[in-house]
Homo-oligomer: A and B are copies of this chain.
């Protein structure tokens, strides 16, 4: 049943959990679920008594290319039939009910499903119909309930969105992307020595133009400028750009200084000694 949905273009994970849509109503929701599943690396879809029958052309239109998941989907008369070959079953359950069962967050369920997959066992997760959700008999088929932490004042979650959150957590549970990295691509992060070269260039030019002429305040001002450039990682390319900016501004100032010495719009008093260039 799950043999054909392992297309090379979807990078299937052999033992990924089965998504079981129980009595789904709208075919375009089924397609949107398949798309969300592909996003998160879930590839096994089962449909229990889809209201309008199966297959439905509409589903392919909203699947945005996750066709293999739809093609490999199996149809079942009952939840019991759909879970018969599985080892562990989770049921998504937005509202609290009087059932004594473990209740997991989506993240908690994803972590458990990863452990189950590592043991080469099969897990499935039940999603109820669009309006009513899973009924008590459906939930009695499950080992554990999954309740997403979401705004309790607005729990109306679209079916494909519910699948998306679970698929996202499934993928994330095995993902080790750091929460924050600097993307540098071809360019390299500059060494502190190169940053220092630039700060020296900048300070020299600021001395030259008179910006740092208040000697008592000078150390603090230089320190503030240093803090500004130390705040994030600066790349070598950015340092080259900054050197260029400072050099060009200084040249422009000196040229303007020559051209506009009689022009009140530019005060030559603020100019420092000229002729200092960055080595």
Contact = CB atoms under 8 A, between A and B. Distances in A.
A97 to B, nearest CB: 8
Which residue, of A9, A40, A96, has the highest number of chain B Cβ atoms within 10 A?
Answer: A40
In order of increasing CB-CB distance, the 3 nearest A-B pairs are A108-B179, A38-B154, A149-B175
A99 interface: yes
Interface stretch (A230-238, A255-263, A265-273): A230-238
Given A161-B160, A165-B164, A165-B165, A150 B184 contact: no
A39 B151 contact: yes
A11 interface: yes
A107 interface: yes
A35 B156 contact: yes
A113 B163 CA distance: 25
Contacts of A96: 183, 185
Interface of A: 9-11, 32, 35-36, 38-41, 64-66, 96, 98-105, 107-108, 111-112, 144-145, 147-158, 160-161, 164-165, 168, 171-172, 175, 177-187, 232, 235, 237-238
Copies in the complex: 2
Nearest to A238: B100
Given A64-B158, A158-B35, A185-B98, A150 B104 contact: no
Nearest to A151: B41
Given A108-B178, A186-B98, A65 B154 contact: yes
Contact of A39 (B103, B155, B187): B155
B41 A183 contact: no
A64 B156 contact: yes
A61 to B, nearest CB: 13
Contacts of A111: 179
A183 B99 contact: yes
Nearest to A93: B183
20 contacts: A9-B154, A11-B152, A32-B158, A39-B150, A39-B151, A39-B155, A64-B156, A66-B154, A98-B186, A100-B183, A100-B184, A100-B238, A101-B182, A101-B183, A102-B183, A104-B180, A104-B181, A112-B180, A149-B177, A168-B168
